[in-house]
Structure 1
Amino acid sequence: MTEPSRRFSPVKAVLVAGAAAGVLGAAGAAAFVWFGVYDVSATGPHLQPVHSLLEIALQRAVQRRADAHPPPRDLLTRERVMQGAACFRDRCVVCHGAPGVAPQAFALGMQPVPSSLVEATRHWRPQDLYWITRNGIKMSGMPAWEYRLEEGELWSVVAFLDALPLMTPDQYRALTASRSGAAPVTVGPAGAADAAPRCDGVVDAPAPLVPPLPTVELAQRAFRQHGCTACHTIPGVVGPDTSNGPRLSGLAGRDRIGGKAFPTEDGLAAWIRDPQAIDAHTAMPTLGISETQARLMARYLLTH
């Protein structure tokens, strides 16, 4: 008769089997990645299970976060639709197209292909569309616009998307033909609209996040959203393994930055904002970073 201490209980057997299955699953996933089994080329789509999983993840993630940004009460006004038309024309139509307007050729080769936004309001609430426009979507080609469109412009894009389903190609062309002087055009429930105004996209500091982020995380976000990690390795900021530009660590201990600027907040912020003005021969481009954001980034770099 087996002694109680040596019995292999059903519970223990299940735990051991579960652990073994977990190890085998992790090993299989690692091998799947390491040997390059999954085709990442944009000439073919994701497998349908992958596509469906990403769709569900997108919907659930947006719904969880978007309610922190309720739409303004005056969302659907003529002025917002007009401004949203300008922003859509200048920022969105190249990928998403519009009534009678095809996306540009590069967008048609993206995978997943950017969706038509004519029916966006059938699938997303206003706060959802605001959140997507502001924050973008990883691994889809959809960029975050919070550093390139100011708060009112973001909501104006949402207002324009509400009018888009009832807009004919002629109405779209008339509304977006020029920044001034076009004939009035009716744009659905928002009423008659004159030619779209400018969409300047001048953002000194993005609207406060909900919930707010610490200053360090705001600086890290600014580095990512201004593309700094494309060329530089920055302490504490996730990015590609690159050596296009110097590693941005220990700047406070250097004699000069870029061989020209002093390692102070004023000097580094000026370099971040307009390196071409300080050194006409530098390969670092001027990115249109605001004074507020440049100082935030400079303070971060001088303490890391």
Structure 2
Amino acid sequence: MEFGLECSSPFVPAHYQPACLLDLAVNRGVDSHRLLRGTGLFHDDILQGNRAISPAEFFQLIANLRQTLGTDDSSFLLGQHWLPGHFGPASHAIRHADNLHIALQRLEALSCVLSPLQKPRLRVDEHYAYVYWLDSYGSGGQRVFLLEALSAALTSMCRWLSGQRLPWQYQFRHAQPRYIEQYWVHLGEDVRFGCPLDQMRIPREYLSQPWSSASVTAGQVAEREAHAWLQQLPASAGFLDQLYDYLQENLRQPLGLERVAEVFQVSPATFKRKLHKHATGFQEQLDQARTSVAVYLYLSQGYSNDEVANYLHFNDSANFRRAFKRWTGMLPSELKTFLLL
């Protein structure tokens, strides 16, 4: 397995999401040179439409925006312009999705274009559809900002394309911020904090409701064009996304840094450096994959403590409960009560 795109890989078109940040700042009276400081970008680079920046440069741009604006609503306002967006065929593909299910499938498949910094993952069970967000390049202090923007983006897009306000529920890992009213205004009041995962949830029946504004043929053509664009990239996914996929698919096997490094065809030392470069470590990534699977097994499959512990290869359920508490801040017995209220 080869490494995917990294935080230093310049693949994000500067005239896509970065331009939205620039427009928001300029419209609020911020000088463009001040916003672009430290990113290696100039306004003319964006206007020419042929410059790409790396995730690390994108993070710097977000940090500059937050510092210059200093407002609590900038992430939510920015998100309202991100989806479907004006990002070439990928935007057209979700703009002309037949329904929510197809839109979410395309959003996940085309995330390198539509959500380049946080990977959306779609999961559907008997009762709900879930979209959970995973950090693709080590966003660090910009993670909450990005989650707010992306949650607002998906909420706004669904409201526009469906013609109604869909009953999304929101769960975030971070603590409740002091500006909670911005969440209520832009997302609604069904918001929870201190959760095991960063995710949005909606009753499954909304997936198949038709969206009358869609042009099915146009959406299918745009989807093929978008995938053709993705094939021009050096890799189809980020390094952390590839690592997550491998860990999740192999959780029932013994996993250690040395073994996974071998799968990625590098030495353990090089693998550690790659993880450090992305502001994370192997144990953190392994715990994240375990958390995701454990929550799914509990809530969607109805597994018991013993069954989840056995699935994740823990010696006994007591050890697993302690580990789950360390991963999520809560015991498995508290999970359903907390998330399903």
TM-score (normalised: structure 1): 0.27
User: Larger strand proportion, structure 1 or 2?
Assistant: 2
Q: Tell me which structure has the larger Cα radius of gyration.
A: 1
Q: Which has the higher contact order (CA 8 A, sep 6+)?
A: 2
